[in-house]
């Protein structure tokens, strides 16, 4: 039986039914509960982690891409945030299969400089064809870390060989329930989610998690925004520096990431080595974004701040 720390966060999740009851006589929008489209409202940390993840692709001498897994309830702006980054060097789609990777994604990496594949709803994508699910996950696992040299390993007939191995990063999202499952009193544990499967097959350790929830205050703010039919200003286009640049690290500064990395590692049954490397890469990406060629304390502070959500604890955003 898996000891899932999501159980410790059960009380942190906002109770929408409680909110509905509280406002049923004063807020007509409650009749639309479950059908609202959440605007991009006060989600700067989410946008920031996505931007840094993409920027990290342009840091020289990074062997393994930073891969980002966004975990939050439905209507929490995951998809809207990812859609802000339909920019050069990324490809956004939910229509992803082994065949699409072979026929479209790999050529884009090889010939068009594709750096990041963005899949807003990862679970929906992989469940379109359950029969190929395991093969697809194994293919993705290789693509986003060590890279693909030959597709024969995945029972795909082709003579194509990639040397050096071909790889790209992944940014994707999943709902809280799809990730953790639901609590079963009979089994006294969490069942139905993908967390345990991904952990045991080694996929989860390849991601930096970014989890969050909305507190009632923010839920009220979103409801009021919808009631007033307000238009949110379009966020400015996210500019990425696309020149490959060497960024000098600093071991003494990087040591401040050890506790963050080890805590995430323990959550997934590991040590956090991959996480530490990814955090260091994100710090370098922040330096590059700010026109510096060496990491300083400002970069460390930015990642430490984002570590409020770089975990599996579903802290309020």
**Can you give the pLDDT of all 317 residues of the chain as single tens digits?**
444 445 444 434 444 444 334 433 333 333 333 333 445 567 899 999 999 999 999 999 999 999 999 999 998 889 999 999 999 999 999 888 888 888 899 999 999 999 999 999 988 777 765 557 778 888 899 999 999 988 776 666 667 788 889 999 999 999 999 999 876 778 766 677 889 889 998 999 999 999 999 887 777 777 776 766 666 666 667 789 999 999 999 999 999 999 999 999 999 999 999 999 999 999 999 999 999 999 999 999 999 999 999 999 999 98
Q: Rounded to the nearest 10 degrees, how much is the dihedral formed by the CA atoms of 174, 9, 45, 269?
A: -70
pLDDT of res. 118: 97
Query: What number of residues does the chain have?
Result: 317
CATH code that applies to domain 5-316: 3.40.50
Segments in the chain forming alpha helices (H): 16-23, 44-55, 78-83, 98-100, 106-112, 122-126, 133-143, 176-180, 195-200, 216-227, 251-254, 258-267, 273-289, 297-306
**Which H or E element spans position 64?**
none
Give the model's pLDDT for residue 39.
54
In whole angstroms, what separates CA 279 from the centre of its chain?
14
Domain boundaries, the chain: 5-316
Exposure string (b/e) for 76-108, b if CB count within 10 Å is 16 or more? bbbbbbbebbebebbbbeeebbbeebbebbbee
Phi-psi category of residue 208: left, alpha or beta, with phi > 0 → left and psi -120 to 50 → alpha: beta
Q: How many CB atoms lie within 10 A of CB 29?
A: 16
Residue 40 has a pLDDT of 58
Q: For residue 236, what pLDDT is reported?
A: 65
Rounded-to-integer distance, Cα 315 and Cα 125, Å:
26
The arrangement of strands across the sheet holding 169-175 comes to: 90-92, 116-119, 169-175, 68-72, 208-213, 315-316
Residue 225 token pair: 């925004």
**CA 193, CA 293: separation in Å to the nearest integer?**
42
Q: Using an 8 Å Cβ cutoff, are 47 and 238 in contact? A: yes
Residue 279: CA atoms inside 13 Å, Cβ hemisphere, count? Answer: 33
Q: Residue 207 has what pLDDT?
A: 97
CB 119 within 8 A of CB 94: yes
């Amino acid at each position: 039986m898996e000891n899932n720390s999501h159980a410790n966060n059960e009380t942190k999740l906002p109770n929408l039914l409680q909110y509905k009851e509280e406002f049923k006589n004063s807020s007509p929008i409650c009749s639309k509960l479950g059908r609202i489209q959440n605007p991009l409202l006060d989600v700067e940390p989410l946008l920031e982690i996505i931007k840094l993840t993409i920027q990290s692709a342009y840091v020289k001498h990074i062997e393994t891409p930073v891969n980002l897994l966004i975990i939050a309830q439905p209507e929490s702006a995951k998809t809207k945030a990812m859609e802000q980054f339909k920019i050069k060097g990324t490809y956004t789609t939910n229509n992803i299969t082994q065949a699409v990777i072979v026929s479209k994604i790999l050529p884009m990496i090889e010939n068009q400089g594709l750096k990041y594949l963005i899949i807003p709803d990862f679970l929906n994508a992989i469940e379109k064809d359950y029969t190929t699910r395991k093969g697809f996950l194994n293919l993705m696992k290789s693509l986003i870390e060590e890279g693909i040299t030959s597709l024969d390993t995945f029972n795909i007939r082709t003579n194509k060989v990639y040397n050096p191995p071909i790889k790209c990063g992944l940014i994707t999202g999943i709902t809280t329930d799809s990730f953790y499952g639901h609590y079963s009193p009979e089994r006294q544990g969490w069942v139905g989610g993908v967390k345990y499967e991904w952990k045991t097959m080694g996929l989860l350790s390849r991601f930096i998690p970014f989890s969050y929830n909305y507190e009632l205050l923010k839920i009220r703010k979103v409801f009021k925004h919808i009631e007033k039919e307000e238009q949110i200003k379009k966020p400015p286009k996210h500019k990425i520096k696309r020149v490959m640049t060497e960024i000098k690290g600093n071991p003494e500064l990087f040591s401040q990431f050890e506790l963050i990395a080890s805590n995430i590692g323990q959550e997934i049954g590991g040590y956090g080595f991959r996480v530490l490397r990814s955090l260091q890469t994100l710090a370098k990406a922040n330096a590059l974004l700010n026109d510096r060629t060496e990491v300083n304390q400002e970069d460390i502070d930015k990642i430490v701040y984002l570590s409020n959500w770089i975990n599996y604890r579903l802290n309020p955003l």
